[in-house]
Amino acid sequence: KKTAPLPDDIKSMKGTTPIVSLTAYTTPMARMMDGVCDFALVGDSVGMVLHGMPSTLGVTMEMMILHGQAVARGLTTTMLVIDMPFGSYEESPKQAFANAARIMRETGAAAVKLEGGRHMAETIAFLVARGVPVMAHIGLTPQSINTLGGYKVQGRADQADALLADARAVADAGAFSVVLEKVPATLADRITAEISIPTIGIGASVGCDGQILVVDDMLGLFTAFKPKFVKRYATLGADGEAAIRAYADEVRARSFPAAEHTFSDKAPGQ
Ligand code: KIV
Ligand code: NA
């Protein structure tokens, strides 16, 4: 019987097979990608995508665990990774371990993801040494939006060496992979060539070892805004709006429900 890959299996895909991943927040969405994606990420983007929050800063441990449990119920052969929310890991390695352990214990996730490069290396090493596989996330790190000064491209020009140093630091600390968000393609390619762990690109490069997108973005379900790096593979939001309008029209015209949706007095049990 096929089982989900482990963080080490994902790591060993570098240089062999492109790693396919999407975010997921609910059981039905997890079922849609089960066995198709190599891993599913319960991203803290859940706050913006499903809860209408203005940023990821208000996302809590309880939200990550609740959505993590929902996604876990929909996965059998795809690995589950869960984001550590803002404020749950930055203070100290001990704080990070307590919260990472809680996420893994209460959801069954195989790994956690956290944002930060060199300054999080000590924490990543602390977690990995204690049984918590870590996916790192550098470049545009949305939890730091107030210090980064907006959702802009990271690592351009004289910032490039610093981002490469971040990538090296998280790899050396034992992360099994690293998300590169919104960085120039040439820099993403350089990082991918120079570090030993897989790079997972979002707004990065086709040369990354894998790709991730927010599932609601690529399905056209989240339409409040569309970053340049999003490709819409479907228009479920527009389809949903049209369906809701059709339903409303039919209710007002008394053409729904039709005979096939209602019950006669005769056949019991139907
Ligand atoms: O929260 C999220 O969805 C993420 C991915 C975009 C990598 O961190
Ligand atoms: Na995230």
**Ligand 1: which of 20, 44, 81, 182 to mutate, judged by most atoms within 8 Å of the beta carbon?**
44
Question: Residue 85: pLDDT above 90?
Answer: yes
Atom nearest to 43 CA in ligand 1: 1
If you take atom 5 of ligand 1, which residue's CA is the nearest one?
43
CA nearest ligand 1 atom 3, residue: 43
Over residues 87-107, mean pLDDT: 98
pLDDT for residue 267: 72
In this predicted structure, the answer to whether residue 67 has a pLDDT above a threshold of 80 is: yes
**Best mutation site among 45, 71, 226, 230 for ligand 1 pocket (most ligand atoms within 8 Å of CB):** 45
**Which numbered ligand comes closest to the C-alpha of 41?**
1
- Average pLDDT for the chain: 97
Task: Name the band, by pLDDT with cuts 50, 70 and 90, for residue 268.
Answer: low
What number does CATH give the domain 7-234? Answer: 3.20.20.60
Confidence of residue 224 (pLDDT cuts 50, 70, 90): confident
For the chain, the first-to-last Cα distance in angstroms comes to 38
Distance CA 45, CA 58 (A): 10
pLDDT at 269: 58
Band (pLDDT 50/70/90 cuts) for residue 270 is low
DSSP annotation of 45 reads T
Residue 26 has pLDDT above 80, yes or no: yes
Q: Which of 181, 194, 241, 260 is catalytic?
A: 181
Question: What pLDDT is stored for residue 1 in this prediction?
Answer: 76
Structure confidence by residue, pLDDT tens digits, 136-183: 999 999 999 999 988 999 999 999 999 999 999 999 999 999 999 999
Confidence tier at 249 by pLDDT (50, 70, 90): very high
Span 117-135, average pLDDT: 99
Residue set of the binding site for Mg(2+)? 44, 83, 115
Q: Where are the domains of the chain?
A: 7-234
Q: Which atom of ligand 1 is nearest to the CA of 23?
A: 3
Prediction pTM value: 0.97
Per the annotation, binding residues for 3-methyl-2-oxobutanoate are 44-45, 83, 113
Of 176, 182, 202, 187, the residue nearest 140 (C-alpha)? 182
pLDDT tens digit sequence for 56-65: 999 999 999 9
pLDDT of residue 10: 98
Residue 210 tokens, joined: 């894998």
